[in-house]
């Protein structure tokens, strides 16, 4: 299925907006000491921005692992982004899975603060790349 450029750009902007909304959601969850939910929203904020990037480059999938693999192959191994961004994304995915599906998971607030800082850096970097690089 091909998406018209106007529709694709609207969808890219929508996904970017979702990533920014996730930042606000994480702030609220941390303030209310809902760390498990904060980790979930941290990952999904990054997921939304990577789906925007994927749309820009014509890649679509409904599978999280495929999206992460595409990002790592194209942008990390392709040296379009520093390796730390692949690590940040993979770490948040793993932590989200553990927080969502693990039993008796202990979550340290300091770790969530670090993940939140990484999330904001990740989203800003990917958004900047989307806005300033052509396909």
Q: What's residue 1's pLDDT?
A: 47
Q: What's residue 133's pLDDT?
A: 86
Record the tokens describing residue 100, joined without a space. 């969502």
Percent of the chain with pLDDT over 70: 96
Secondary structure class of 134 (helix, strand, coil): coil
Secondary structure class of 1 (helix, strand, coil): coil
Secondary structure class of 101 (helix, strand, coil): helix
User: In terms of C-beta density within 10 A (0-12 exposed, 13-18 middle, 19 or more buried), how is residue 131 classed?
Assistant: exposed
Interacting residues of 105 by C-beta distance below 8 A, sequence separation 6+: 36, 98, 99
pLDDT at 21 over 80: yes
- More confident: 9 or 6: 9
pLDDT at 132 over 70: yes
Q: What's residue 134's pLDDT?
A: 67
The pTM of the full predicted model, rounded to 2 decimals, is 0.93
> In 10 A of CB 79, how many CB atoms?
8
Which of 58-62, 78-82, 87-91 shows the lowest per-residue confidence on average (mean pLDDT)? Answer: 58-62
Kindly report, residue by residue over 93-106, the tens digit of the pLDDT. 999 999 999 999 99
Question: What average pLDDT is seen over the chain?
Answer: 94
Q: What's residue 79's pLDDT?
A: 94
Q: What's residue 4's pLDDT?
A: 74
Closest CA to 85 of 112, 122, 48, 52: 122
Closest CA to 88 of 54, 57, 60, 124: 124
Topology of domain 5-132, per CATH?
1.20.120
């Amino acid at each position: 299925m091909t998406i018209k450029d106007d529709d694709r750009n609207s969808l890219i902007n929508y996904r970017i907006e979702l990533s920014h909304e996730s930042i606000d959601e994480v702030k609220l969850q941390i303030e209310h000491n809902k760390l498990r939910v904060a980790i979930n929203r941290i990952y999904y904020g990054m997921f939304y921005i990577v789906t925007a990037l994927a749309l820009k480059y014509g890649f679509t999938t409904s599978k999280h692992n495929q999206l992460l693999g595409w990002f790592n192959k194209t942008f990390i191994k392709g040296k379009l982004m520093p390796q730390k961004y692949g690590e940040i994304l993979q770490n948040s995915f793993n932590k989200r899975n553990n927080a969502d599906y693990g039993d008796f998971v202990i979550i340290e607030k300091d770790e969530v603060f670090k993940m939140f800082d990484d999330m904001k850096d990740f989203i800003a970097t990917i958004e900047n790349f989307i806005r300033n690089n052509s396909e």
